[in-house]
Structure 1
Amino acid sequence: MDRATHGVVAEELQAARRSREPIPPLSRSHPGLTVDDAYAIQLAQVRAWTEEGQPVQGHKVGLTSAAMQRQLGVDQPDYGHLMGGMFHLEGLPIPLDAFISPKVEPEIAFVLKRPLSGPGVNAAQALSAVDYVLPAIEIIDSRIRDWKIGLVDTVADNASSGGVVLGSRPVPVGAVDLRLAGCVLSRRGMVVGTGAGGAVLGSPLNALVWLANTVGRLGVTLAAGHVVLPGSVCAAVPVAAGDCVTATFGGLGSVTARFVRDQAHEQEDA
């Protein structure tokens, strides 16, 4: 697939994002699509967002659980970009009209205090680059109809990124064992998921190391101040209007996301 075709597919995904009308799986509509093609399509969208004034403010790692890797038939994670417009403030209403079929995932977010550049990054170097960690809720979404995704579909679709809500209590990375940090995810006061940091490649730190080395081979440096979402500690949970979702992590505190129909309805209800 050539660069012009990458641009065409990127625009298909962008159009789906704008219209909230999902498209068929790319693996079906574009036979022969490779993982390299999919990352090129992702980057075409990143360039477009950047030109629109949305800077890259971090990265996310996906497919970090053994179950998801088995489901998609892969043996390693994937990654996507976190753009400026994807960040939502904790507790403030998040309009669902920005998404197609959103789900939430609880994660332990890293915030970097200095650049991290691979290849060759080890765990000690990754830890030394981290400023602090935060509880986080990632909002995932798919521009592919009915979430019928394979690896190339989710990679091209920016790793199914939708948004992120960060907690407001920074915790030094050495103050908690990331592997053992347990999480309870609740929706409307009911527990809908549980997990621990060890579900993420054995430790969220391993996901950070993998990301730094993977993008480093492409000449990309993880920048100071950027956020890295290493992967969910439990299965994703769908959300709907009126849902209030809280992720509570042992040693890290909690973070809450509140979803409404759209901003206009929220103002009318007030």
Structure 2
Amino acid sequence: MALYSRQLLAFMAVAQELHFGRAAQRLHMSQPPLSQQVRLFEERVGVPLLERSTRAVRLTAAGAALRDAMLRMMDDGEAALAAARRVAAGETGLLRIGFTPTAAYRLIPAAIGAYRERHPQVHLSMTEGNTAELHALLRQERLDVAILRPGDDMQDETLHKEPIDSEPLVAALPAGHRLAGRRAVRIEQLAELPLVGFARQSSAYFHALLAELFSRNGLTPRYAMESLLPTLLALVEAGIGAAVVPASVGELRPRGVKYLPLKARVLLRSTLYLAYRRDCGNPAVPALREALRQKASA
């Protein structure tokens, strides 16, 4: 194979220079061994590739076809190498992102927008799910990265997890409620109202977070109903009750809901985590991680 490569290299030098002397100089060798290599290559191919005379060297039709084909292969090879380098640098390729619904209200649009501006050649695949579903997809290697809430799988050693964003909790009230015109709502006032809470099974993180919030303030909430976003906000708008939600939910801005800061002796924040497999080899992940960090701190 090495001998064949040397013969091919000799032929290509002559085919491009159309002069044995210049081709020999190009390859840093003397002319007789070069001529021998080209003749051996022609014998291997089985057809004449060059027309030789005392004045000039010309390519036969077969020689010209072989030269052009090899040049195309060299161009394609360089393009393939360049493409491989771009993928390795995280500039192209596929990035599979999972996210919880509440991450889509503020952080995801801002971070993905910034990421796409800097890496327009990376194809993004977006999957929405709850924390348990996203954990499963990460373990199955069906996602490269996920933006999710803390869950029962936080101790999974196969995944790297880091807090990427946190935000305050706010009160959500029907627009016509007697407290809606205030600058803030005390948690004691909310505890006296019927509330719309987060469903225990489907929104375990927020269900537990609100239970801790009221408990640490020495209060017991009165839930009239439990649901999921955005249905929860529709129930607030309908007057079923008030709610406590992450501040970014206010980005939805439904007309019939008023969001107010929450006042309490103990205030809690909701946290989003970035998670990916420790053995994740996708080079596009670090740039997304940086975009998330920048937009979370903005």
TM-score by length of 1: 0.22
Larger radius of gyration: 2
Determine which structure has the larger strand proportion and give its number: 1
| Highest RCO, 1 vs 2 (Cα 8 Å, sep ≥ 6) | 1
Determine which structure has the larger helix proportion and give its number: 2
TM-score by length of 2: 0.21
